[in-house]
Amino acid sequence: MTDTTIATEYAEIRELLRIGNRRVDTPERFEILDPATSQVVGSCPNAAAADVIAAIDAAEEAFVAWKRTAPDARARLLRKVHDALLQEQDELARLITLEVGKPLRESRAEVEYAAEFGLWYAEEARRIYGRTALGGSDAKTWMHLVRQPLGVVGAITPWNYPLLLAARKVFAALAAGCTVILKPSELAPLSALRLGYVAERAGLPDGVLNIVTANPPDHVGDVLSGDPRVRKISFTGSIGTGKQLMEASARNLTRVSLELGGNNPFLVFEDADLEAAVDAALVAKLRNGGQTCVCANRLLVHESVLDEFTRLFSAAMRNQVVGPGLEPTTDVGPLVQPGAASRIQSAVDDAVSAGATLVCGGLPLAREDLSGGSFYPPTVLRDVPPDTRLVTEETFGPVAPIEPISNIDEAVESANRTDYGLAVYVFTESLRKALRVSEDLETGIVVVNRAAPSGVHFPQGGVKQSGIGLEGGPEGLEEFTFSKYISINA
């Protein structure tokens, strides 16, 4: 099919690798399935190690000119990509929903948010500042600190926000003057490949953005982390894969940024606006069907409002419509990862066996109209023991375990009792309490009295096992640069 065509429902897309100025096919291809129906949406080339090396070659060659491209020129190109993404918002949203199943309105929001990063980093490309000082014992030495692009970047992205997370990495790297090899998830590569088409039409030079796909994908990370020409790996995904990439990258002292998992608490104190807290918890829990690293994973509710919060929240969860994302009434789409429903069911069963009370949901949906996909109902459990998997592990699904808390100290201790440290949500009407809790939480993000941490102009990143480095904001651009100190005898 042509570069200007996007699939309608089940009109199969046949994609190609983007390496320099070439569009490359491979002898082996793999299929992408609609998780709501298991029908084939499209297919992609299964890149070999030689294809990844060719992409590194192309990126290395393109970097020579791209790093010398004026920041204003880079900014103009990124603004064009931003405009083009918004022009294709409806078609891109449909493509995202076809490959990951999320409700169409969420996919539209993803396209808009992805485009925002293009606009933000277009402006930040012109604000890569250094500093200058006069020094030396005779005050005749001019000392300059400048920031320069690292070089070739390997960007590896997951399936849950296939366009957004690719755009956030790519726009920051390009604004900094780096060239990129993007490896999207094998479960949802189509919208990321579409970003390549849009960038090409906007005038991005050949080789500045290369895209390779593979299934299974492990050898792509091996090649990227093992080649000394790749100066940085930016990865979003599982803790296990992130650690493997970090270990492999250490052999060449390749820089890494890792955005990994989260086991994010949602704290509701006794003075919280309960209706607002319930509304926010619903969004924070069920965004993308609970399949995001910043989802609220466990709800810690003050014992004095536990009954009322549970009643309101479980009623709201019961009212959520489960179905294919293309249906306009759908609130919660399918699970994407193979075996996810079985894994979630096992964790729910273990919690109930350990003494938790099942309030709603708790069994896979058996509706005939959903037989083609893997769907799980919004589920609430109360009084979940703290040593169960629903509490200790990232669920990645529409399941909300509720635990009681009695005071601030217990809330902080419970929230910090995890190997993760990505995000914490806090609901309280007390500014003093919000500030106290925010100070003591071991996390990279604190969200107070709202449902999402989103914002292109501030960075996001985790601590502990949730990762290293930042994405978004000026700091997200600096991740793709290095400092150079220049001393001049005047």
Is-catalytic flag, 295?
Answer: no
Are residues 18 and 201 in contact, defined by beta-carbon separation less than 8 angstroms?
Answer: no
Cα 96 from Cα 157, distance rounded (Å): 14
Q: Which of 52, 444, 440, 23 is nearest to 212 (CA)?
A: 52
In 3D space, the residue among 89, 81, 88, 98 whose CA is nearest the CA of residue 7 turns out to be: 98
Contacts of 466 (CB under 8 A, 6+ apart): 259, 260, 261, 262, 293, 420, 421, 422, 443, 444
Question: Measured between alpha carbons, how far is 358 from 328 in angstroms, rounded to an integer?
Answer: 29
What does each C-alpha distance from 325 to 8, 108, 168, 280, 333 come to in angstroms? 14, 12, 24, 21, 5
Where helices occur in 385-482 by DSSP H, the ranges are 389-392, 408-416, 431-440, 473-478
Q: Which of 15, 106, 116, 259 is catalytic?
A: 259
Extract the tokens encoding 28.
Answer: 């082996």
The DSSP output letter for 430 is -
Is residue 178 among the annotated active site residues? no
Which token pair is 428?
């309280």
Cis status, amide bond into 216, omega within 30 of 0: yes
Query: How many residues does this entry show for the chain?
Result: 490
Nearest to 156 by CA among 294, 47, 30: 47
How far apart are alpha carbons 275 and 313 in whole angstroms? 9
Residue closest to 126 by CA, chosen among 199, 77, 83, 74: 74
CA proximity to 194, closest of 350, 41, 57: 41
Task: State the catalytic residue, choosing from 293, 394, 478, 479.
Answer: 293
Catalytic residue IDs: 259, 293
